[in-house]
Amino acid sequence: MTPDPDRLALAVDIGGTKFAAAVVDGGGEVVVTRRAPTPRSTDPDVVFAALASAIDATLDAAGLRLGDRSAAGAVLVPALGVGTAAPLDLTVGTVSPVNIPGWRSFPLRDRLTERYGVPVGMIGDAVAVAVAEHWRGAARGHDNVLGMVVSTGVGGGLILGGRAVSGSTGNAGHIGHISVDPEGPLCVCGGIGCLEAISSGPSLAAWARANGFAGGDGTAAAVAEAAVAGEDVALQAFRRSGAALGLAVAGAVTLLDLDLVVIGGGVAAAGPLLFEPLAEAYTRYAALGFAARPRVVPAMLGGAAGLIGAAAVVLSPEQYWPSGSAD
Amino acid sequence: MTPDPDRLALAVDIGGTKFAAAVVDGGGEVVVTRRAPTPRSTDPDVVFAALASAIDATLDAAGLRLGDRSAAGAVLVPALGVGTAAPLDLTVGTVSPVNIPGWRSFPLRDRLTERYGVPVGMIGDAVAVAVAEHWRGAARGHDNVLGMVVSTGVGGGLILGGRAVSGSTGNAGHIGHISVDPEGPLCVCGGIGCLEAISSGPSLAAWARANGFAGGDGTAAAVAEAAVAGEDVALQAFRRSGAALGLAVAGAVTLLDLDLVVIGGGVAAAGPLLFEPLAEAYTRYAALGFAARPRVVPAMLGGAAGLIGAAAVVLSPEQYWPSGSAD
């Protein structure tokens, strides 16, 4: 996808903590953005109203309606690109994000189409991050990519043959919920030994605390700080998290013959603390020739990746818009 | 892909035991086929000559050259569809099948193009089986499918969004070499605890023998017979194999949001002995809503699947012909 000076996209990022909307230009730069805290309400309409406010505030700040031409002559494409916390169901356009209790099988696609009168291209939030890294970040020029976010949870999105993969219902990429330890800890999803139950920030911090870590506020950030200072249990916590990630990533590369794996998110910000044990485990478990060369790199785009990926859905629909949401 | 009465395909199946070629009609039926044992020779040209003989004998038996029209008016498409034992490298058109020592980085695509003067569409043998099951077998009507062969090895091929997935080098689908037991047995590939090292016929039989099984000739077939007769160690061997398969398949469905998993091959022929523990492990490890519904079924096509899948590459290139081999 090459930068397009003639088009702008309205992008939406739906997370458990905040809603964000943005106008993104054809080169992947955020022109204007507005955000709102995700309501804790169990009333689906209250939650939707907060989202609509963030979108409306973004349009107002840009001084544009959908379909308008900007002062510089670029059209704000009459469509919405949405990256949403999972799970979702693209076959019917609903979302049930774990951390948004007000939305259970909420018909987000229909509600947005109804309100804004335009098509809505919806993808998972981690898929949006993968798309963004593929378009403008660390995965540029690679056709077969797993993008991951390791933070409060462990999410993922796939690009195969240069195109975003949605799967049957829009949930492809859920690497955080494959089991990497058949006898491991129970996961919130109900599975056993899921990658997320070992490698996420909260899981990593819980393991450290259970093994005697008492530094700072006991979060993954505090564990990272102690690891940098050389504290043994903190180093071990990162080694355990990194090793599980390396095992899972080795499996994904072997199954999908990927070029590149890009990892972002707060835990990945710990850098070599995480990436070194990850690479070591990767090498141990990805032995077949086509998979053996290590290919795991840090993400480049940070917090705006979700919005940039959602914009790509609008700007390059044939490549990134899952068929299930184009109807 | 709908049956096409106007076209015939020349299909080739390259295995470690035998080479097969066939003329396959537009409905996926094998019209005529010839085979030859795979030479043990380390001379690549001796091996290639045996393959060419099988292809030539098939053309002779059909009474057609590539591009000819049959008596019934169907054209034998001027192209070759090839399913080959892995690994392969579609970026350069070479193959290095583990069980064909005479071919190491052998330029199969160029050699076949040179000899027959037509384009060559090459895919892995397990990908061919997945394609065949998708076209004519147990996966008809499903867009997101993992096809597996559990026999001497454990292979796989993927259909995503209705299209065959090749990956960067043509090796996508290698589920047999993802680790399902991080502390498990060493695999021939150099990895640790690979699915193949636990669930393949020889691995299953070796485990049974190591645990006291002494029935028949000690092969997986003998273990299956003893399991049917209720012998405990034989039943355990199948439970162990099935459980590892269920864990791996749960991971693949979770990562890729698949509709269906189709499993064939000699070990899968044991039926419920394998599929019951498989389903049990699947349910334990695939807990997320979109993945939780079990969806693992036996293959329908048997030994001809490889040829039928290779024919589909010729008959429906836009769907099944990996971009890497179309050049």
Asked if the Cβ–Cβ distance from B160 to A156 is below 8 Å, we say no
Cβ distance of A174 and B323 shorter than 8 Å: no
Q: Residue B196 and residue B147: Cα distance in Å, rounded?
A: 15
Amino acid at A184: G
State the average pLDDT over residues A38-67.
97
> β-strand A120-124 against A94-95: which pairing, if any?
unpaired
Please tell me whether the interface predicted TM-score (ipTM) of this complex is above 0.90.
Answer: yes
Q: Cβ separation of B254 and A174 shorter than 8 Å?
A: yes
Query: For A202-217, how does the pLDDT look when each residue is reduced to its tens digit (9 = 90+)?
Result: 999 999 999 999 999 9
In the structure, what pLDDT confidence band is assigned to residue B2 with cuts at 50, 70 and 90?
confident
* Angle, vertex CA B208, rays to CA B205 and CA B213, nearest 5: 110
Whether the Cβ atoms of residue A152 and residue A200 lie closer than 8 Å to each other = yes
Interface contacts A/B by beta carbons within 8 Å: 159
Cβ distance B174 to A143 less than 8 Å, yes or no, reads no
CA distances (Å), origin B270, targets A144, B68, B210, B263: 36, 43, 21, 11
Q: Which of A144, A168, A283, A295 to mutate to test the interface with B (most CBs of B within 10 A)?
A: A168
Instruction: Provide the token pair at B15.
Output: 């295995």
Chain A neighbors of B87, CB-CB under 8 A: 288-290
Provide mean pLDDT across the span A239-268. Answer: 97
* Cβ contact B251–A161 (<8 Å): no
pTM (two decimals): 0.95
pLDDT given at position B326: 39
Using CA coordinates, name the residue in chain B closest to A178. B251
A104, A288, A325: which to substitute to probe chain B, counting the most B Cβ within 10 Å? A288
**pLDDT exceeds cutoff 50 at B325:** no
Half-sphere exposure (Cβ direction) of B107: Cα atoms closer than 13 Å: 6
DSSP B304: G
Helix (H) or strand (E) run with residue A313 in it: helix A305-315
Rounded to an integer, what distance in angstroms lies between the CA atom of residue B38 and that of residue A232? 56
Candidate from B168, B169, B257 with C-beta closest to A167: B257
Backbone angles phi, psi at A84, to 5 degrees: -130, 145
Contact list in A for residue B286 (CB cut-off 8 A) is: 191
CA distance B187 to A250: 15
| Rounded Cα gap, residues A76 and A25, in angstroms | 9
Contact residues, chain B, for A161 at CB < 8 Å:
163, 165-166, 323
Residues of A in contact with B172 (CB under 8 A): 144, 160, 255-257
Interacting residues of A119 by C-beta distance below 8 A, sequence separation 6+: A78, A79, A80, A113, A326
Give A251 to chain B, closest Cα distance, Å.
Answer: 5
Model pLDDT, residue A1: 79
CA B97 to chain centre: 13
State residue A326's pLDDT score. Answer: 40
Going by C-alpha positions, the residue among B305, B302, B201, B289 that lies closest to residue B253 is: B289
Across the interface, whether the CB atoms of B174 and A257 are under 8 A apart is answered yes
Q: Provide, as residue numbers in chain B, all residues whose Cβ is less than 8 Å from the Cβ of A89.
A: 290
Name the residue facing A258 among B87, B167, B181 (closest C-beta): B167
Closest CA to A66 of A108, A34, A112: A112
How close is the nearest chain A Cα to the Cα of B318, in Å? 13
Of B319, B301, B318, nearest to B126 by C-alpha is B301
pLDDT of B323: 59
The torsion angles phi and psi of A198, rounded to 5 degrees, stand at -115, -40
Select the residue of A178, A181, A291 nearest B254 (Cβ to Cβ). A178
Q: For tokens 């702008």, name the residue.
A: A8
Please tell me whether residue A121 adopts helix, strand or coil conformation: strand
Report the alpha-carbon distance of residue B177 to residue B172 in Å, rounded.
Answer: 11
- Of the candidates A197, A160, A164, the one whose C-alpha atom is nearest the C-alpha of residue A178 is A197
Exposed, middle or buried: residue A323 (CB in 10 Å: 0-12, 13-18, 19+)? exposed
Q: Which DSSP state fits A261?
A: E
pLDDT digits (tens, 9 = 90+) for A80-104: 999 999 999 999 999 999 889 999 9
Is residue A144 within 8 A of residue A257, CB to CB? The reply is yes
- B255 vs A255: CB contact, 8 Å cut-off? yes
Min distance B47 CA to chain A CA atoms (Å):
23
CA A307 to chain CA centroid, Å, is: 10
Rounded to 5 degrees, φ, ψ at A233 are: -65, -30
CA triplet A126, A130, A135: central angle to 5 degrees? 145
Q: How confident is the model at residue A323 (pLDDT cuts 50, 70, 90)?
A: low
Residues of chain B contacting A177 with CB distance shorter than 8 Å: 254, 287-288, 291
Q: Which residue has the tokens 């010729």?
A: B314
Kindly tell me the burial class for residue B40, based on how many C-beta atoms sit within 10 Å of its own C-beta (0-12, 13-18, 19 or more): exposed
Q: CB distance B172–A250 less than 8 Å?
A: no
Contact between chains at A174 and B251 (C-beta distance less than 8 A):
no
The per-residue pLDDT for range A118-146, each reduced to its tens digit, is: 999 999 999 999 999 999 999 999 999 99
Averaged pLDDT score across all residues of chain B: 95
